[in-house]
Structure 1
Amino acid sequence: MSGSGGHPVVATIAANVWDIQPGVGFVALAMAVAGVAAMGLLWRSTAPQRVEPGPPSMDLGDETPALVDLLTGGFDVDDDAVPATVIDLAARRYIDIDELGGKVTLRVRRASAPARDELTPYEQRVLTHIEQHTIGDTTPADVLTIGPEGVSERWFKSFTREVNQHGQSLGLCHRRFDFEHLAMAWGIVVVAAGPAWLIANLGGRSDDPSDWGSLGNLLVGLALLTGLALVWLAGTISKSNRQTSTEAGRAAAAHWLGVRDHMRSVGEFDDKPAASVAIWDRHLAYATAMGLARTVQRQLPFETEHDRKAWSRATGEWRRVTVRYQSLVPKWGTSPGKVLFEGLLQGAIVGVVAYGAFLVSSGEVDLSDLTDEQQRWVSFGAFAIGVFAAAVFLYCVLKVVLGVSDLFARRTIEGEVVRARILKRGHRLPRIVQWAMYSGNDEQGMSKERNRRRTHHVAIDQGDDDSIVSHVVRSQIYGQVRQGMIVRAVVTPRLGYVREVEVVAAPRRSAASAPTMRHELIDEATGRAGAAIAGSMQSAMSTLEGATDEDGRPILDQVDEDGVTMRERLRESNDQIAALRDDPRLQNTPIAGFLDAFLGADGSPSRAGDDDDDRSPPHTDAGA
């Protein structure tokens, strides 16, 4: 191959050109394609069997609307299940739904509602979410968003997992992907993409940049891209909450598909509003679950909350407000001292530049060494620079005025935190553009994403304006507040700099505080690990029970320097682990599942020597 020579960057690129033979490339691509086929077979083999609809019927079964959504949606819970559950709660008299002037309002029944213990966990989740948004007993339906993007995703995943668990307990479905399937999926990734990765890293190199386009290199590149697709598919399988059908589930699904066909042929539910549940009762809930009540789905938007559109309770009743994250005031949210210093320093610099530029443009500077044409161009350029510098100077003067006026000024505001957001630089750009700009490392080897500038915004509604400008705050201030809090903040009147904040009232519970259902495989993995360790410990304890020292005394009954036997130490350890399991901070965490399996579901861990509590105390003489 011919040498590249020339520029060092070109030489560096040339030194890393693959030199893959076509035959090797064909093998790598063939392995990757075979991996795609194997992954497709895995996906297809676990898919629920196709269910044919039963005869058209209006007979409602015992399943909840959320379960019907699962059964008729290919054994996958979708967004229709949540509004369907709301309608079902209304049909069962837990809430009332009213509509006046196009506005849908939900009212929670208190004394007249049925017992809560009749509700499933996911129904309780939905009802609790409604209650958290009530003022008095009522709430507008538009308010029932499920928090920012991460919170809403976590809430709906937990809802889905609770529905799945209910279906499993009734024998209607089971997990589509178990540990064995995950092992197969990632095994396919290793076998299919591994050869291409090894060839790309260990294969030959060429010093000719034009070799990048060789057939062997292109084939390996395609194999690597295919491998990335396989990694994505394996990740999707690992995170999936999908279910597959059982015989009982297919029978129930066939019945409900028949009900759906009948409802669809009648065509009476598409334009029915949520308030018509008073007439249609649970039929409207099931129609919503099967995607036949579009008006209901539109009126009950359980979705991610909007960054710039918020609902506030600052006035004692719900009202819609608009949040702006940018202000026309220069340096909004910045310390007055910093603004003053920047204004003085920058103003001095650009002032000198403007003064010098105007001197040149006005002919005060001797340009006799230049031709007339050159003098005209220099004068014009100097004038343009002077005008620009003068504009910047005026901007700096404005910053000085703002900094001086706010240096010692204070005012106190009080209201509800309607939005608390951390915004990254370029957050308005399309995600693909953000990925292109901030993926990878910079010249110093630092992560571009980690070094991406972030600003902390807190929007406080005082109840006197429907348009709110959020305050740019320090990270320390941001860490003190939560969305929904009532706060009292000391701010500067013109720059909006938040000097301090005081929490007046804690936020109401929201979707962020709802219990999170872990992935079933996480529970199973921690349970298996806890049970395995517990089994090993029991085997070890059985061995220790019969162990003696050279004098024939039981090892477990020998005392340490504090006069405590090993048996008693083990009991203390068991008690501490049991107390740890009951710690509220560990509830609904993988650690709690591990401890449950380790100690036993009844909370009564097996303790060494429990059957020997009546034995006489061990000897404590010098030989012990």
Structure 2
Amino acid sequence: MTLTEQLYWGGAALIVLWLVAFGLSLLATRNGAVTPGPATQEFGDAPEPPAVVSLLGNNWRGVEYAAAATLLDLAARGLVELRQPGDDPVRSTVHLTEAGRVATGLTPYEQRVLDRVTARTANGGAPIGAIAFRDDERAAAWNTALRKEIIAEARLRGLSRSRFAPLLASTLLTFAFVPGALFTVAAVMGHHGIRGAIFVGVAPGAALAYLLTKALGERATRNGLERAGHWYGLRAWLAGHEDFAQLPPASVTVWDRYLAYGTALGVTSLTGRLLGFDSGDRRRVWSSYGGTWRPVRIRYPRLRPAFGASTGRLLQLAAAAGLFAAALCAFAVLRQPDWAVAAEAGSGSLRRPGLVLSAGWVGSALLGVVVAGKFSRWTLLVAFLSMMPGNFASADDGWFHDAAAQDGPLAVELAVIAAFGALAAYLLVLACLERRRPDTITGEVLRMETRKGRGVARFLALDEGNTDLTTAWALPAAAQGIATGAQVRLRVSRGTRTIRSAELVKYAAPEGDRAKAPTQS
């Protein structure tokens, strides 16, 4: 065995040893079992906040309903008020009280939730659905910061600790890159080049480090397991009430802090679902633009032809659709029955009925694809697969044989020619309309979504204040400086739903997601 082979085998052995050590570490630091206490309605002498109870009740893995439980706890303490004007709990509203405006001494995560409520109720009360964020990234950042603050509180109370000790985590991280060093030396000795050496050196360590970071989390302390058992007893007592799971948020006036703890422990399914601090429903957004809160439904025209296209692009697509229709029409009209001859499938003849028809149809489509600028190696793969049914079809009978024997265009060919001819005419009309002066509209940005793909337009949903239904516009990928919640003046082309220019009228108001929480001692 050469030295290069020894280095490779040594690196592989070190990877196996690292995985064994990692598995033993996971086994040694697994969370202890919680022994549920007897059903009780008592909180205890110094009860943990509902947000911390959410961590304990979820086996130290997450804090799914911590924000909703914290809001209910603030309502039970009189800092905010939840009202339900009718029978539908979805129409419930949240209001900031005088005590909430001057509240002090709150924990960082309580202040974070209160800041969010304060921002959304700046002009009075707000629907509970308006608490949700309009932007996915801001919602994720807000909830990540909230989780860190709750974990810090749990550690401060001696209920939680890091799963891996700092020394153990550092040791595993360091030795994760040792096999890669051996691989790098072996690759250099084997004359594989610098790039190959760097790749085989970094890739194993990166994979092992990824496994390590996914395992980093929280685990219970002895005191944490005892307190979790107590709260499991409260969960059992709350679950014994049949109607408790369907209590609306406004029932906090009756159930006081029990509703907050029930939400933290996952008992109140309705309240936890309504009080969402995530990115909300992308097709139904609450807006106060115009003076009153109302839900605005959003339509996303993903399949609309020429959505967000420029005049040049419209002409190119029209030419592609027209060329495809013309090529298919020429093939259908000029095709003669004697172009195809009876031959056994797989015989190698190029004049089999199925192969003749497939070649004409696929060739016409490829012309349109090339003109549209969408040709790639994947296009050739799709074209090859499209030829397969006709290539292996029987030549003596069947649909392909009857179609090739027919004199003149087929019904399906006429339908496709008419459809793409109409599409070409539609695109030409849009290109002519794009020469008109753009319309000017003003409103508030409800949501912005990025579509996958380089240079592809994004969706921008605008509330103009005069309707409860809006259709998203195509915001060019290069557009900058526009954020959700901002009021903008847009110059748009309605035919393609394209934004030609955007002018900022009013900056987005703070939504309580960027306020710096007080430092916890």
Distance 2:242 2:204 in 1: 46
Structure 1 residue 463: deviation in Å? Answer: 3.2
Which of residues 163, 172, 196 is equivalent to 1:185? Answer: 172
Identify the residue that residue 144 of structure 1 maps to in structure 2: 131
Question: Which of 269-278 and 324-333 deviates more?
Answer: 324-333
Match of 2:256 in 1: 281
Change (3 A) 1:135 1:362: farther
Residue ranges of structure 2 left out of the alignment (5+ in a row): 193-201, 338-350, 357-403
Q: Which amino acid aligns with 1:43?
A: L
Cα offsets for 1:582-624 (capped at 9, x unmatched): xxxxxxxxxxxxxxxxxxx9xxxxxxxxxxxxxxxxxxxxxxx
Confirm or deny that 1:44 pairs with 2:27. Answer: yes
* AA at the equivalent of 2:301: Q
> Is 2:77 aligned against 1:102?
no
Give 1 or 2 for the bigger CA radius of gyration. 1
Could you tell me which amino acid in structure 2 is paired with residue 68 of structure 1? V
Measured in 2, the distance between the counterparts of 1:265 and 1:75 equals 24
Distance 2:317 2:498 in 1: 16
The reply to whether residue 236 of structure 1 matches residue 214 of structure 2 is: yes
Q: CA deviation at 1:383?
A: 10
CA distance in 2: counterparts of 1:49 and 1:298, whole angstroms: 29
Q: Give distance in 1, aligned partners of 2:328 and 2:225.
A: 81
2:43 pairs with 56, 59, 68, which one?
59
Give runs of aligned pairs for residues 502-581 of structure 1, distance below 5 A.
502-510=503-511, 513-515=514-516
- Cα drift, residue 30 of structure 1: 6.4
Superposed counterparts of 1:229-308, under 5 Å: 230-237=208-215, 240-245=216-221, 248-265=223-240, 269-308=244-283
Amino acid at match of 2:475: V
CA distance in 1, matches of 2:30, 2:427: 64
Match of 2:150 among 149, 154, 163: 163
Q: Distance in 1 between matches of 2:303 and 2:238?
A: 55
**What TM-score comes out, normalization by structure 1 length?**
0.60
Match of 2:72 in 1: 87
**In 2, are the aligned partners of 1:489 and 1:502 still within 8 Å (CA)?**
yes
Question: Under a length normalisation based on structure 2, what TM-score does the superposition of the two structures give?
Answer: 0.70
* Residue pair 1:56, 1:258 contacting (<8 A) in 2 also: yes
1:132 alignment partner, SS class: helix
Q: 8 Å contact 2:60–2:220 — kept in the other structure?
A: yes
- Quote how far apart the aligned CAs of 1:126 are: 1.0
CA positional deviation for 1:407:
0.5
Q: Secondary structure at the match of 1:40?
A: helix
Name 2:446's counterpart in structure 1: 418
Q: CA deviation at 1:461?
A: 2.1
- Please name the residue that 1:408 is paired with: 436
Aligned residues with identical type, % of pairs: 25
Q: Which amino acid aligns with 2:439?
A: R
- Secondary structure class of the residue paired with 1:424: coil
In structure 2, what residue type is equivalent to 1:500? S
Instruction: Report the alpha carbon displacement of residue 424 of structure 1 after superposing the two structures with TM.
Output: 0.6
**Structure 1 CA distance for aligned equivalents of residues 325 and 266 of structure 2:** 67
What SS does structure 1 have at the residue aligned with 2:495? coil
How many residues were matched structurally? 443
**What pairs with 1:353-392 in structure 2 (closer than 5 Å)?**
353=327, 360=334, 380=408, 388=416, 391-392=419-420
TM alignment of 1:181-220, pairs within 5 A: 181-187=168-174, 189-190=176-177
Q: Which amino acid aligns with 2:26?
A: W
Q: What secondary structure sits across from 2:244 in the alignment?
A: coil
Distance 1:268 1:382 in 2: 65
Shift of 1:299: 2.5
Determine the structure 2 residue equivalent to 1:397: 425
Query: Is contact 1:354–1:387 with CA below 8 Å preserved after alignment?
Result: no
Cα separation, 1, equivalents of 2:22 and 2:482: 47
- C-alpha displacement of 1:98: 2.0
Q: Partners in 2 of 1:473 and 1:404 — Cα distance?
A: 21
Pair 166,115 (structure 1): closer, same or farther in 2 beyond 3 Å: farther
Given that 2:66 and 2:264 are in contact with CA atoms closer than 8 Å, whether structure 1 keeps it comes out as yes
- Alpha-carbon distance, 1:271 to partner: 3.2
Q: Tell me, yes or no, if the aligned pair for 1:486 and 1:504 is still in contact at 8 Å.
A: yes
Q: Secondary structure at the match of 2:504?
A: strand
Q: Matches of residues 122-133 of structure 1 in structure 2 within 5 Å?
A: 122-133=109-120
Structure 1 distance, partners of 2:477, 2:7, is 54
- Map 1:342-491 onto structure 2 (within 5 A): 343=318, 346=320, 353=327, 360=334, 380=408, 388=416, 391-425=419-453, 452=454, 454-476=456-478, 478-491=479-492
In the TM superposition, what is the alpha-carbon distance from 1:143 to its structure 2 partner?
A: 2.6
Change in CA separation of 1:72 and 1:103 when aligned onto 2, cut-off 3 Å: closer
Aligned to 1:423, what secondary structure does the other structure show? coil
> Aligned-pair RMSD on alpha carbons?
4.4
* Alpha-carbon distance in 2 for matches of 1:340, 1:121: 57
Is the CA contact (8 Å cut-off) linking 1:108 and 1:137 kept in structure 2?
Answer: yes
Structure 1 residues 172-228: Cα deviation after superposition (integer angstroms, max 9, x where no partner): 3333334323223324534678878988998999xxxxxxxxxxxxxxxxxx99998
Q: Would the alpha carbon gap of residues 342 and 27 (structure 1) be closer, same or farther in structure 2, given more than 3 Å must change?
A: closer
Please give the per-residue CA displacement for 1:136-163, whole angstroms capped at 9, x wherever unaligned.
3222222322344333222111101111
CA contact 1:311–1:320 (8 Å) conserved in 2 = yes
CA distance in 2, matches of 1:24, 1:36: 18
Q: CA deviation at 1:55?
A: 5.3
Whether the 8 Å CA contact 2:298–2:472 is kept in 1: the answer is yes
Which residue type is aligned with residue 60 of structure 2?
F
Deviation, 1:38, is 1.5
Rounded to whole Å, the distance in 1 between the matches of 2:322 and 2:11 is 64
- 2:363 aligns with none
How far does residue 89 in structure 1 lie from its aligned partner after superposition?
Answer: 0.7
Q: Is the 8 A contact 1:164 1:243 kept in 2?
A: no
One-letter code of the match for 1:401? Answer: V
Q: Which residue of 1 aligns with 2:501?
A: 500
1:91 is displaced (CA, Å) by 0.2
1:169: Cα distance to partner? 3.0
> Which residue is equivalent to 1:78?
63
Evaluate the alpha carbon distance shift between residue 279 and residue 389 of structure 1 in structure 2; reply closer, same or farther with a 3 A threshold: closer
Q: Which secondary structure state, in structure 2, belongs to the residue aligned with residue 475 of structure 1?
A: coil
Compute the displacement of 1:75 (Å). 3.5
- Give, in whole Å, the separation in 2 of the partners of 1:396 and 1:252: 70
Residues 1:338 and 1:188: Cα distance change in structure 2 (over 3 Å):
closer
Q: What SS is found at the alignment partner of 1:513?
A: coil
The 2-side partners of 1:276 and 1:130 are apart by 18
Pairwise CA distance, 1:79: 0.7
